[in-house]
C-alpha cells in the first residue's frame, strides 16, 4: 500500500532526497541529474548519452564486471537512460540490499574512471545503436521531427549523436562534460521501498554526502522564434511515415495539464483515442498511430505519428487534420469530458502500481518543481479542467498555420 506522504531531505552538498514508503519486498532507488543532450555543445553532440553508457565501465575500486555483478549477484537490476534534459541511474533490488544499491550508485556516479579501453569498446556498441535507428524509420522520424521544429537549437539534436562525434570522444571529453554539467543541487535521489526514512538518510549521507558541493549558476539557452516547416523525404519505405505537430507548453506552464488531457483524448495510449478509432479501428489505415506531448524547461513539443500504406497517405493525413479541426471548433459535451477525465485519472492511478515508474516519476517531479503533488491534488486539477480550457488549448496548439510536418515516402 502506498501513502501520499513523500518524505524529503537535503544533503549539505545540495543533493535532494525523496522517499515513498511501501510494504513491498522489492525496492527501487535512482539518481536523477538535470543534465541531458541539450546541455552539449555541437562538438559534444552525443556525449551525455555516451557517458550514460560509459559510467558502468569501472570505478576506482571496481572493474566493469564487478559493477554489473554487485547488484545482479543478488537478483537486482542496474540501468540508466538519457533524455534531452536528464540523465538517470537507477536500480531495482530486494529491500535488504538498500545500502548495497545506494553505495553502488554513488560509486559509479562519483568515482567512475572511464578506462580508455572500455570507452573504445563502447563506441562500437553506440555505433550499432545509431545504425539500428537509421534502419527504423518509425524511430528515426521522431528525432528528425525535433530537428525540423527546433532547427538550429541544441534541443534539436538527437540524443545518440553521430558516429563521427562518438569516435572523437575520450576520457578527457567525459570528465570535462561532467565537471561543467553535473551539479549537486541539480541531483535528486529517489526511493520507493520498505525502509525507514532515517535509515535511508543515513545511507545517503554516508555514500553521497561526501561529494563536494557543485552548484549550478547558469541557465539553459532558451528556444525562441519557432518557424513552422514542412519536409518530405524519399526513404524508399514500404509505408509512408508522417509526423505533424507544433511547439507546446513548458514544464511550468499553467496550461500544461490541460495539454496532457487534450493529448490523451487525441492519441493517448488507450485504444479508444480519437486518432486510433479514426485511422485504425474504423478504416484499417494504420497499425500504429499516436500523439505525444513532451514538456521541456522552456518549451514543449506536441506531435502525432502514423504509418500507413503509400496509397492511403493523403486520406490518413486528412483524417488527422479533421480530428484537429473538431477539437478546435467543437466543445466536448459534459459526458465526453467526464469520461476523458476519468480515463486519465485511472491511467495515472494504475501507473503508480509500478513502483519503478513511481520512483522515477516522483524523482523527476522533485527535480523540476521541488515538490510532488499528492494524487488527490493531481486528480483535483484534472477535474477542474473545463471544456473552454480544452478548446483554448486546441486552438493554440492545433492551429493549422502553426503545424510542422515531416514525411518519409
170 Cβ partners below 8 Å, 6+ apart?
116, 119
Q: Check residue 218 and give its pLDDT.
A: 85
* Residue of 59, 55, 36, 56 whose CA lies nearest to 46: 36
> Mean of the pLDDT values across residues 22-31?
97
**CATH 3.30.830.10 domain span(s) along the chain:** 7-208, 230-408
CB 30 within 8 A of CB 190: yes
**CATH architecture of the domain with range 230-408:** 2-Layer Sandwich (3.30)
Grid coordinates given for 252:
511550468
Query: Model confidence at 135, in pLDDT bands (50, 70, 90)?
Result: confident
**CATH architecture of the domain with range 7-208:** 2-Layer Sandwich (3.30)
Convert the pLDDT of each residue in 218-259 to its tens digit: 889 999 999 999 999 998 888 999 999 999 999 999 999 999
> Mean of the pLDDT values across residues 155-182?
96
CB count in 10 Å sphere of residue 61: 10
Q: Check residue 2 and give its pLDDT.
A: 42
pTM for this predicted structure: 0.94
Rounded Cα distance between 211 and 205, Å, is 10
Rounded Cα distance between 100 and 44, Å, is 33
Q: Is the pLDDT of residue 209 over 60?
A: yes
* Residue of 329, 355, 365, 333 whose CA lies nearest to 257: 365
Share of the chain above pLDDT 90, in %: 96
Q: Check residue 237 and give its pLDDT.
A: 86
- Give how far the C-alpha of residue 270 lies from the chain's centroid of Cα atoms, to the nearest Å: 20
* Residue of 95, 272, 47, 73 whose CA lies nearest to 191: 95
Share of the chain above pLDDT 70, in %: 99
Q: Check residue 56 and give its pLDDT.
A: 95
Grid coordinates given for 115:
578506462
CB 192 within 8 A of CB 355: yes
Q: Is the pLDDT of residue 304 over 50?
A: yes
> Mean of the pLDDT values across residues 62-89?
96
Q: Check residue 4 and give its pLDDT.
A: 55
Convert the pLDDT of each residue in 269-295 to its tens digit: 999 999 999 999 999 999 999 999 999
Q: Please tell me the number of Cα atoms within 13 Å of 232 on its side-chain side.
A: 4
Grid coordinates given for 321:
487534420
Mean residue pLDDT of the chain comes to 96
- Quote the longest CA-to-CA distance of the chain: 63
Query: Model confidence at 134, in pLDDT bands (50, 70, 90)?
Result: confident
Amino acid at each position: 500500500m502506498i501513502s501520499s506522504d513523500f518524505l524529503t531531505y537535503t544533503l549539505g552538498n545540495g543533493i535532494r532526497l525523496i522517499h515513498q514508503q511501501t510494504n513491498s519486498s522489492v525496492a527501487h532507488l535512482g539518481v536523477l541529474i538535470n543534465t541531458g543532450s541539450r546541455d552539449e555543445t555541437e562538438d559534444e553532440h552525443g556525449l551525455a548519452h555516451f557517458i550514460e553508457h560509459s559510467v558502468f565501465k569501472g570505478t576506482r575500486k571496481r572493474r566493469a564486471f564487478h559493477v554489473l555483478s554487485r547488484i545482479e549477484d543478488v537478483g537486482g537490476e542496474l540501468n540508466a537512460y538519457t533524455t534531452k534534459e536528464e540523465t538517470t541511474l537507477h536500480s531495482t533490488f530486494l529491500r535488504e540490499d538498500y545500502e548495497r544499491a545506494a553505495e553502488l550508485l554513488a560509486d559509479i556516479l562519483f568515482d567512475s574512471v572511464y578506462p580508455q579501453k572500455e570507452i573504445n569498446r563502447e563506441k562500437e556498441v553506440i555505433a550499432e545503436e545509431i545504425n539500428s535507428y537509421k534502419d527504423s524509420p518509425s524511430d528515426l522520424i521522431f528525432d528528425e521531427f525535433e530537428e525540423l521544429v527546433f532547427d538550429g537549437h541544441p534541443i534539436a539534436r538527437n540524443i545518440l549523436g553521430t558516429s563521427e562525434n562518438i569516435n572523437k570522444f575520450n576520457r578527457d571529453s567525459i570528465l570535462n562534460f561532467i565537471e561543467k554539467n553535473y551539479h549537486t543541487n541539480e541531483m535528486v535521489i529517489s526511493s520507493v521501498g520498505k525502509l525507514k526514512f532515517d535509515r535511508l538518510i543515513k545511507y545517503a549521507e554516508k555514500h553521497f554526502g561526501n561529494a563536494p558541493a557543485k552548484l549550478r549558476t547558469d541557465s539553459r539557452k532558451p528556444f525562441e522564434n519557432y518557424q513552422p516547416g514542412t519536409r518530405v523525404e524519399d526513404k524508399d519505405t514500404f509505408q509512408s511515415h508522417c509526423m505533424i505537430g507544433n511547439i507546446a507548453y513548458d514544464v511550468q506552464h499553467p496550461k500544461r495539464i490541460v495539454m496532457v488531457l487534450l493529448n490523451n483524448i487525441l492519441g493517448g495510449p488507450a485504444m479508444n483515442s480519437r486518432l486510433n478509432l479514426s485511422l485504425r479501428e474504423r478504416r484499417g489505415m494504420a497499425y500504429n498511430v499516436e500523439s505525444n506531448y513532451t514538456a521541456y524547461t522552456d518549451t514543449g513539443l506536441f506531435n502525432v505519428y502514423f504509418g500507413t500504406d503509400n496509397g492511403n497517405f493523403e486520406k490518413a493525413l486528412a483524417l488527422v487534420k479533421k480530428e484537429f479541426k473538431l477539437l478546435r471548433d467543437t466543445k466536448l459535451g459534459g459526458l465526453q469530458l467526464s469520461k476523458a477525465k476519468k480515463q486519465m485519472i485511472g491511467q495515472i492511478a494504475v501507473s503508480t502500481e509500478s513502483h519503478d515508474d513511481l520512483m522515477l516519476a516522483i524523482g523527476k517531479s522533485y527535480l523540476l518543481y521541488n515538490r510532488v503533488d499528492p494524487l488527490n491534488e493531481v486528480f483535483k486539477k484534472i477535474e477542474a479542467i473545463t471544456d473552454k480550457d480544452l478548446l483554448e488549448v486546441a486552438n493554440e496548439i492545433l492551429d493549422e498555420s502553426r503545424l510542422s510536418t515531416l514525411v518519409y515516402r
